[in-house]
Structure 1
């Protein structure tokens, strides 16, 4: 698929150690880009940003982003695709475009919770160069509207876990946002492009990677702003069923231990009412 590339003036001369990779589809990443660019002086050339528009097909948004990218101090490349490729393929494409030795995957609807976010990641890469590291999620800046109450409660219980707790089961708490992966690790274990649409490609990837590489957890959280209503969540989970089946086929011993999977198997054996 032919992609349009938009590079800012800082891109060509940059020699980054860390590449921040931001895929998006319809979500406007401009606020995130602005917040990251505020840290440009503190990272001293160690960080580049690559943004992938995975088929939004919005000429006005593309024009606004191109103008914003052109004015940023951080080196930035905007990749614009004419049609959607999907989450796994998109992330693999971003990794291929990156020049840093470490890759930081960050969703476009994330917001760093402090102004040392990039600097802390860059310092971790420089000092420890971990194979895989997860910075964590929070709800610090997330909307508090009643319509998002269910998703907010679910996220608070299962995703927004303190790093001290995450470190006890490092492979359990790995998501594809605010996730650092060393280049050689990603080249050994890329995302499975057979996953399409929403869901489970990050969990399946974590299952593979945690068997081979150490996963580090740290306190460098960002807020996931994209909470969903109950109806939207239900649609996503329904659409993700083929992806869950693909994951279960590849990792049956792990998935069989999931409480939800055990409950589903039990219900399947019950006679119809």
Structure 2
């Protein structure tokens, strides 16, 4: 009844799959778990191959990279069951009833169900990516329910296959950044309810500070392209709201002069304050270069 779809790139997904399989085996729910690597050519895929030894589970490595959105659409096309549970490879359920909690809520096919994101309190707490996720992604169910599309994350959600096929992910997104925002807004525009529930996964793949900053630069390029294409898709994004407020005070050009310094302080000190200043300055630079 449920197809679990896990795109991966240079990550060992075996522990996640083994945990999910164990949870499914304790229920009577028909399932399959499909994992596809997007041509990372990673040495970790020798571990991922072990997924093929688990019942109802499979791992495939693509020969050519197709991108973050296309790989999710590919997984959905291969799924044989009515409901699709999308999970990122670098997550793990926060509790043993994760599968059962989703299964209890699949009767309403007109809803998309989002479980939420959480972060462990371990060594990564000193990293910028952990601080960002803890503040902006690990939010209470009460807050998520007030703005469901804002807190839609591709890392952990359930959707009926027929419904997903009518929307799909925008395959123009080949690199990191904002594909989840666009998908969430598309759901909202089509009148499809996003139902937030308390069924989180821990995000384990915490980037180094510089890697996170580099990904953020790519995400901002995506964001500017989206804003120029359709402002309805980006109206819920806090970074853009702040950027537009700064126009009243003439601060955007001023901040952009110190973008490199803000980046340096953010990476050296894992500072969210300087990271956000860096994002605003970099956003202005990209807007000027594209427009």
Taking structure 2 as the reference length, the TM-score comes to 0.79
Residue 218 of structure 1 corresponds to 197
1:131 aligned to 111, 124, 128, which one?
111
- Indicate yes or no: 2:238 matched with 1:252: no
- C-alpha contact 2:150 2:237 (8 A) present in aligned 1: no
Distance 1:229 1:191 in 2: 27
Distance 2:241 2:92 in 1: 35
Distance 2:233 2:50 in 1: 46
1:154 aligned to 121, 132, 141, which one?
132
2:64 aligned to 83, 89, 92, which one?
83
User: Greater relative contact order (Cα 8 A, min sep 6): structure 1 or 2?
Assistant: 1
Higher share in helix: 2
Distance 2:242 2:96 in 1: 43
- C-alpha contact 1:46 1:122 (8 A) present in aligned 2: no
- C-alpha contact 1:22 1:105 (8 A) present in aligned 2: yes
Deviation sequence 1:84-104 (CA, Å, 0-9, x none): 111001001001001111111
Structure 2, unpaired ranges of 5+? 258-291
Call closer, same or farther: CA 1:257–1:23 in 2, change over 3 Å.
closer
Q: How does 1:1-273 map to 2 (within 5 A)?
A: 17-58=1-42, 61-70=44-53, 72-73=54-55, 75-125=56-106, 127-139=107-119, 141=120, 143-145=122-124, 147-148=126-127, 150-212=128-190, 213-253=192-232, 255=234, 258-265=237-244, 266=247, 267-268=251-252
Distance 2:118 2:243 in 1: 30
Deviation at 1:23, TM superposition (A): 0.5
- C-alpha contact 2:12 2:47 (8 A) present in aligned 1: no
* Cα RMSD after superposing both structures: 2.2
- C-alpha contact 1:142 1:223 (8 A) present in aligned 2: no
Residue 286 of structure 2 corresponds to none
Deviation at 1:38, TM superposition (A): 1.6
Deviation at 1:153, TM superposition (A): 2.3
Aligned residues: 251
Deviation at 1:25, TM superposition (A): 0.5
Distance 2:34 2:45 in 1: 14
- C-alpha contact 2:92 2:203 (8 A) present in aligned 1: yes
